[in-house]
Amino acid sequence: MPELPEVEVSRLGITPHVEKQRVQAVRVWYPTLRWPIPDDVYLLEQQPITAIHRRAKYLLLESTFGALILHLGMSGKLRVVPTETPRVKHDHFELELENGLSLRLNDARRFGAVLWQPTGELHPQLQQLGPEPLTDALTADHLYHLSRGKTGPVKNFIMDNAVVVGVGNIYANEALFATGIDPRRAAGNISQARYARLTDAIKDVLARAIEQGGTTLRDFTRADGQPGYFRLELAVYGRGGLPCPTCGREIAEQRIGQRNSFFCTRCQR
């Protein structure tokens, strides 16, 4: 599933080709993805895309009348192609641009979304979201105070979008390993000093993943079709049974909160 770095890489990839371009046509080939595509998306026709933002794992393409919201779901990809390029299987949505290019959403599993947010409103899917992890809004104080009294695993806590957005499974595993925190440990039993180190680790691992173009595991590729390379730097994720890169002990694998978790029982406490 594309996580925050993959979505940010997609934003960076499409922006030079899509931002400031007028939309010549909107084409909906499959009207029901995770939710039905609203007819309001046709308001984009003959309007320029004034800016492209990311909020959590949503991309917002701003225009005069509102914002087109895109979510990649589990297997979605955004491609920028010449408009005359033949449509391929699982292409479900297209914006034809005045520069002769088209932005297409391809989603084999159809868990992605194409939504609409009128100007001056906040879409329900964007409400109740925590701070962006790569901004000053995410602090050790924020995590520490929200964690007090929490008895659930810290891994689940930092993956809660109401706490902080975009810390998906891959990056939660990596940040906790970098900090030496056992992912099973109760969130409320972690000190403020350790949350300070965890905050720094979250920011670092996400920033490095974006710099490397994301993490390709199964389906994710960048807007230019090239894979991300952060998977080559993964210390524990997907490495169950292999030696810990720090101490050599076998990396443990366990289900935590319905997600595969990878950690070192010696290095993480």
The answer to whether 92 is a known ligand-binding residue is: no
Confirm whether 19 is domain-assigned. Answer: yes
Catalytic residue among 185, 231, 259, 266: 259
The answer to whether 150 is a known ligand-binding residue is: yes
Q: Which domain holds residue 203?
A: 140-263
- Tell me: do 203 and 246 sit in the same domain: yes
pTM, to two decimals:
0.89
Confirm whether 174 is domain-assigned. Answer: yes
Residue reference for tokens 């990649």? 72
Q: Is 84 among the catalytic positions?
A: no
Confirm whether 269 is domain-assigned. Answer: no
Q: Are 102 and 85 in contact (CB under 8 A)?
A: yes
Q: What's the pLDDT at 231?
A: 59
Confirm whether 131 is domain-assigned. Answer: no
Confirm whether 134 is domain-assigned. Answer: no
Q: What's the pLDDT at 6?
A: 86
Tell which of 72, 92, 126 closes a domain: 126
- Tell me: do 32 and 66 sit in the same domain: yes
CB-based contacts of 46, cutoff 8 Å, min separation 6: 22, 23, 24
Q: What is the pLDDT along the chain (269 residues), one digit of tens a residue?
A: 678 888 998 998 899 999 999 999 999 999 999 999 999 999 999 999 999 999 999 999 999 999 999 999 988 999 999 999 999 999 999 999 999 999 999 999 999 999 999 999 999 999 999 999 999 999 999 999 999 999 999 999 999 999 999 999 999 999 999 999 999 999 999 999 999 999 999 999 999 888 876 554 333 344 555 544 455 678 999 999 999 999 999 999 999 999 999 999 999 99
Distances (CA, A) of 38 to 34, 41, 56, 97, 111: 12, 6, 21, 20, 16
CATH of the domain at 95: 3.20.190.10
Q: What's the pLDDT at 43?
A: 97
Q: What's the pLDDT at 142?
A: 98
Q: Is 77 among the catalytic positions?
A: no
- Tell me: do 235 and 156 sit in the same domain: yes
- Tell me: do 28 and 106 sit in the same domain: yes
Confirm whether 219 is domain-assigned. Answer: yes
Catalytic residue among 3, 62, 94, 174: 3
* Number of independent structural domains in the chain: 2
Euclidean distance between CA atoms 177 and 267, whole angstroms: 8
Q: Which two tokens stand for residue 220?
A: 């994710």
Which own/partner pairs from 85-92 qualify as long-range (CB within 8 Å, at least 24 positions apart)?
87/29, 91/29, 92/28, 92/29, 92/30, 92/33
**Exposure of 246 in the CB half-sphere (CA atoms within 13 A):** 14
- Tell me: do 164 and 104 sit in the same domain: no
- Tell me: do 95 and 202 sit in the same domain: no
Confirm whether 132 is domain-assigned. Answer: no
Q: Is 27 among the catalytic positions?
A: no
CATH of the domain at 247: 1.10.8.50
- Tell me: do 145 and 122 sit in the same domain: no
Catalytic residue among 11, 54, 57, 155: 57
Q: Is 57 among the catalytic positions?
A: yes
Q: Are 117 and 123 in contact (CB under 8 A)?
A: yes
Tell which of 126, 161, 195 closes a domain: 126
Q: What's the pLDDT at 225?
A: 56
The answer to whether 109 is a known ligand-binding residue is: yes
